[in-house]
Chains A and B, each alone.
Chain A
Amino acid sequence: MSELPVPYRVIGRRDETPDTVTLRIEPAGEALGPFAPGQFAMVYAFGRGEIPVSVSALLPGGHLAHTVRRVGAVSQGLCAARPGSILGLRGPYGTGWDLGQALGQDVLVVAGGIGLAPLRPLIHAALADRKAYGRISVLIGARTPDDLIFKTESLLWPTAYTGVTVDRPDRGWTGEEGLVTRLIDRARFDPAGTTAYLCGPEPMIGATARELVHRGVPAARVRVSLERNMRCATGHCGHCQLGPLLLCRDGAVVGWDQAEPLMAVREL
C-alpha cells in the first residue's frame, strides 16, 4: 500500500438509526476523485485506523457522504465525528456498480439494512437520467423499523415502485413484513431486460439473486456487492481474496454469475 490519506472535513452529520451515522465531508485540501457509484474510500479515523466505506452520496463540489454503522473501533471513531472533525481518505477504489450496463433496461435495486447506503448514489444517478432507463424499482429490507436508513428521502424518490419491508415490526409499523424477496412480486420489471443491483447481508444477496435468476434475469445482470477483510485496497495485502477475486480490485461489485459458485463454497 502506498497511497497516503488526504484530509477531508466533516461538514454535516445525521443519525440515521441508533447505530448508523451519515457524514457529509468536503476536501480540506486537494480532493480525491472522482468517485463512481459503488466505489469506496479507505476512511481513516485518527489513531484508530482505516476501514473501507462506500460513498453514500456524490455531492457537488467534490463533497461526499459516507454512511457508517458502529461495529468496531474505527467505525465507532467515525460515528463520533462532528462537524469540523477531520478524517483521512484514500480512494476511489473498486469497480463500482456500473450503471452503464443498465442503459435502456429496467433497473431493480434491492437493499438489506445498511446495504442501501452504497446503492444510494446509483439510485440518484439513475433518477437524474430517467430517460436512459426503463422502470426503476427500489426494494428495501431491514431487521426492524429502527434499522431503516434514508427513510424520508426514499419516500420521495420518483421511482416506478419503492417498497419497504421489515423482519421484525414494532407496534407502530403498518408496512410490509418479512424478507425483502417478498417485494419482488410488487415491482414491475421485464426480467429479460432488467439489470439488478444488490447489497446487504450475504444470505439476503443469495436469496434475492437466486429468485431473480429464477424469474429470468440474466445472472451477469444481477450485480452484487461482496465483503471481505480489507487492509490496503490497492491489491497488495491479500486480505480481500474471494477465490480468484481480489475484491478491492475486481469487486466489490461483481456479477452473480461470478459470485454464485464462490458463495457456494463454505469458508472461502
Chain B
Amino acid sequence: MNTPQRALPKLAVVKLASCDGCQLTLLNCEDELLALAGQVEIAHFLEASSVVRPGPYDLTLVEGSVTTADDALRIRRIRAESRHLVTIGACATAGGIQALRNFADVDEFRRTVYARPDYIDTLATSTPVSAHVDVDFELRGCPIDRGQLLEVITAYLAGRKPDIPDHSVCFDCKRRRTVCVTVAHGTPCLGPVTHAGCGAICPAYGRGCYGCFGPGRSANLPALIPLLRRDGMDEAAVERFLRTFNAAAFDEAAFDEEPRS
C-alpha cells in the first residue's frame, strides 16, 4: 500500500454556493498537510493552487449548495469524474444559510434588491448536493471540524468507513463532563437533536447549542420544541433558532411525521 512507485490517489476539492470556510479547514490542517501531500496528489484545489489536473479523481470533497441551474449541471459532471464524492459543510449537506430562500419568494428578492433583476440567474431553492447526485459521505458542520475532515480523508485512504458518529451533541457534553445547560440552567439548547461533531463547544461555554451540524438522523425535534418554549422562547424565537445554517434540514425534521425510522 505504501510503496513509493504507486500512483498516488487523486484528491479534488471543489465548491458550489458557499463561503469557502470549509475548504479553509483543510488548509488549516497545518501539521498534517505535508503528510497528506505525501499520500495524495492534490489535483484540483483552487483555494490552494491554480494548477488544475484533469479527472477522474479518487476522492472529491464538495463544498457548497446547488443554487443555480449551472451548479446542478456542474455537480453531475463532478460526480461522473469522482470515484468517491464526499460533501463537506452545512451548505453541501443541508443547503446552508442560503436555504432561507426556500421559505421566501425569490422573485420578490430579485425585484427588490437588484437594479437589473434580469442579470440574476438563480434557482428558487438552495439544495444539498445529495438532492442532485449520489453522495458517498456527508460531513456536517458550519464550518466542518478539522479532526473529522482528517478522519474522513484518512479513512478513505485506509479503505475503511469514516468513524463519524451520528449521535447527539449531548454525547459529547457528557463525555467532556459539561453540565447540561438545559437541565441545570434552563438554557434553550438544540444539542439533543443535533448531530455531534463539533465536540460540544457552545455548552462548554454555558451557551445552548445552535445546531450548526444540523439534525441527527433520529432527531425528535417536535419533542424538543415545548422545552424551548418553556425556557423562554416564543414561537418566532424558536423559528429563528432553527433557521440558521441548517434551516432546511431542521425544517424537514420539525414537520416530519415519521421522523424516526
Contact = CB atoms under 8 A, between A and B. Distances in A.
B38 interface: no
Interface stretch (B5-13, B71-79, B155-163, B246-254): B155-163
A57 B161 CA distance: 29
Main secondary structure of the interface of B (DSSP, over half): loop
A77 B159 contact: yes
A76 interface: yes
B161 A72 contact: yes
Contacts of B159: 47-48, 73, 76-77
A74 interface: yes
Interface size range on B against A: under 10
A49 interface: yes
Interface in A47-90: 47-49, 72-74, 76-77
A126 B159 CA distance: 40
How many chain A residues sit at the interface, stated as a range, is: under 10
Contacts, number: 15
Contacts of A74: 160
A47 B161 CA distance: 11
Interface string B158-200: 1111000000000000000000000000000000000000000
A76 B161 CA distance: 11
Contacts of A76: 159
Contacts of B158: 47-48
Nearest to A72: B161
A160 to B, nearest CB: 45
Contacts of B160: 47-49, 73-74, 77
A86 B161 CA distance: 21
Contacts of B161: 72-73
Contacts of A48: 158-160
A77 B158 CA distance: 9
Nearest to B163: A49
A151 B159 CA distance: 31
B158 to A, nearest CB: 4
A72 B158 CA distance: 13
A49 to B, nearest CB: 6
A185 B160 CA distance: 45
B223 to A, nearest CB: 20
Nearest to A49: B160
Contacts of A77: 159-160
B167 to A, nearest CB: 14
B3 to A, nearest CB: 15
Nearest to A47: B158
Contacts of A47: 158-160
A47 B160 CA distance: 8
A91 B159 CA distance: 25
Interface of B: 158-161
Given A72-B161, A73-B160, 6 more contacts: A47-B158, A48-B159, A73-B161, A74-B160, A77-B159, A77-B160
15 contacts: A47-B158, A47-B159, A47-B160, A48-B158, A48-B159, A48-B160, A49-B160, A72-B161, A73-B159, A73-B160, A73-B161, A74-B160, A76-B159, A77-B159, A77-B160
